[in-house]
């Protein structure tokens, strides 16, 4: 089974380590699409990082988009994919050598499986005013057709480590380009994608055996505060999208966030948490209200500005020359 690995990127500093971790996989039947975003100077730095890490390996391709956005980059990677599965890896992560083999083996073992999500591991200890997104899921299969909106305990995955059978990706369609890093609401694109897969009844596995290290993912000081703000703002927007779609979980999420942020400090007897929780609630509510007022959900299940033209229900795949230059990392 051939795999496409897609790395959306805007950061050249850590990109070489990410690329080298793919070259070091025990499963070798893969292609790597590194999808950069940004201006000409950023493109030059990213191309150089990929070229230095990959050398002349013909399996590695660099694609550049002038518009920012992780969701745009994932959509471009999916359009260009030639694999039976597509696996996404963030540019500040390093994949365990058996990462792809674990994913491919899981898909081979279960022909009905549409998704494999894995562990994202950070430092054991984080200091004050530091943040690093992580997840350690249970070994669990969620089949929404059997237990709608009721995943097993410990089941979860995030966009930094997820893989899809290409047929499942075609069914769910585009990543929402209003959500995610570089977009109007800077997180939540993976939660939204997960919920759309769920609505289609796609069978999904999570496993801690599929491991990546969030090696450059620690944010400190102002960067940590900005990360916390982004998560609250983006999650508020996802909750609003649920509400706009008629999913009652959106309002329940808003209500639970209010309850937790206003009362948990009392239950835990930690009054020092109140300013942090109030800040989280402020940004969550802002994301919820801004999304609910400015956007609507189109027939394809994607957010669009109110009154704008419908995107339609069919995903239109652009040919490579419309996405960006496609060439080997060696700089051809």
pTM: 0.90
CA–CA separation, 193 vs 157, rounded Å?
11
| Residue in 74, 10, 16 with CA at minimum distance from that of residue 43 | 10
CA distance 273 to 237: 24
Residue 246 burial (CB < 10 Å; 0-12/13-18/19+)? exposed
Which helix H or strand E contains 192, and what residues bound it?
Answer: helix 189-199
Distance CA 70, CA 37 (A): 8
Provide φ and ψ at 86, rounded to 5°: -125, 130
Give residue 79's Cα distance to chain centre: 16
Assign a CATH topology to domain 3-218. Spore Coat Polysaccharide Biosynthesis Protein SpsA; Chain A (3.90.550)
Residue 135 per-residue DSSP state: B
Q: In which residue ranges of the chain is CATH 3.90.550.10 found?
A: 3-218
Return per-residue pLDDT of the chain as tens, 332 residues.
799 999 999 999 999 999 999 999 999 999 999 999 999 999 999 999 999 999 999 999 999 999 999 999 999 999 999 999 999 999 999 999 999 999 999 999 999 999 999 999 998 777 777 888 899 999 999 999 999 999 999 999 999 999 999 999 999 999 999 999 999 999 999 999 999 999 999 999 999 999 999 988 888 888 889 999 999 999 999 999 999 999 999 999 999 999 999 998 888 777 888 888 999 999 999 999 999 999 999 999 999 999 887 654 444 433 333 333 444 333 33
* 16 class by beta-carbon count within 10 Å (0-12 exposed, 13-18 middle, 19+ buried): middle
Per-residue exposure over 177-201, b if at least 16 CB sit within 10 Å of its own CB, e if not: bbbbbbbbbbbbbbbbbbbbbbeee
């Amino acid at each position: 089974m051939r795999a496409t690995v897609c790395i959306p990127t805007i950061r050249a500093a850590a990109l070489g380590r990410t690329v080298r971790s793919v070259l070091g996989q025990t499963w070798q039947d893969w292609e790597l699409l590194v999808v950069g975003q940004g201006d000409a100077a950023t493109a030059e730095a990213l191309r150089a990082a990929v070229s230095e890490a990959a050398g002349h390996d013909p399996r590695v391709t660099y694609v550049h988009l002038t518009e920012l956005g992780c969701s745009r980059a994932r959509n471009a990677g999916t359009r260009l994919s030639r694999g039976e599965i597509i696996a996404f890896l963030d540019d500040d992560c390093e994949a365990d050598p058996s990462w792809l083999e674990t994913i491919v083996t899981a898909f081979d073992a279960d022909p009905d499986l549409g998704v494999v999500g894995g562990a994202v591991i950070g430092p054991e200890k984080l200091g004050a005013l530091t943040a690093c997104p992580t997840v350690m899921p249970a070994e669990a299969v969620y089949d929404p057709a059997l237990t709608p909106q009721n995943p097993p305990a410990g089941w979860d995955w995030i966009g930094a480590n997820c893989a899809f059978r290409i047929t499942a990706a075609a069914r769910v369609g585009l990543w929402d380009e209003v959500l995610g890093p570089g977009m109007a609401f800077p997180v939540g694109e993976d939660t939204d994608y997960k919920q759309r897969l769920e609505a289609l009844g796609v069978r999904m596995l999570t496993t801690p055996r599929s491991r990546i290290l969030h090696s450059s993912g620690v944010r400190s000081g102002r960067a940590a505060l900005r990360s916390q703000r982004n998560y609250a703002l983006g999650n508020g927007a996802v909750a609003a999208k649920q509400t706009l779609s008629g999913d009652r979980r959106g309002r329940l999420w808003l209500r639970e966030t209010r309850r937790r942020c206003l009362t948990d400090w009392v239950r835990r007897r930690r009054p020092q948490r109140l300013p942090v929780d109030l800040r989280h609630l402020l940004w969550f509510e802002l994301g919820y209200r801004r999304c609910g007022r400015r956007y609507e959900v189109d027939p394809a299940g994607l957010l669009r500005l109110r009154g704008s033209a419908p995107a339609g229900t069919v995903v239109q795949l652009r040919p490579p020359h419309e996405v960006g230059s496609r060439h080997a990392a060696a700089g051809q």
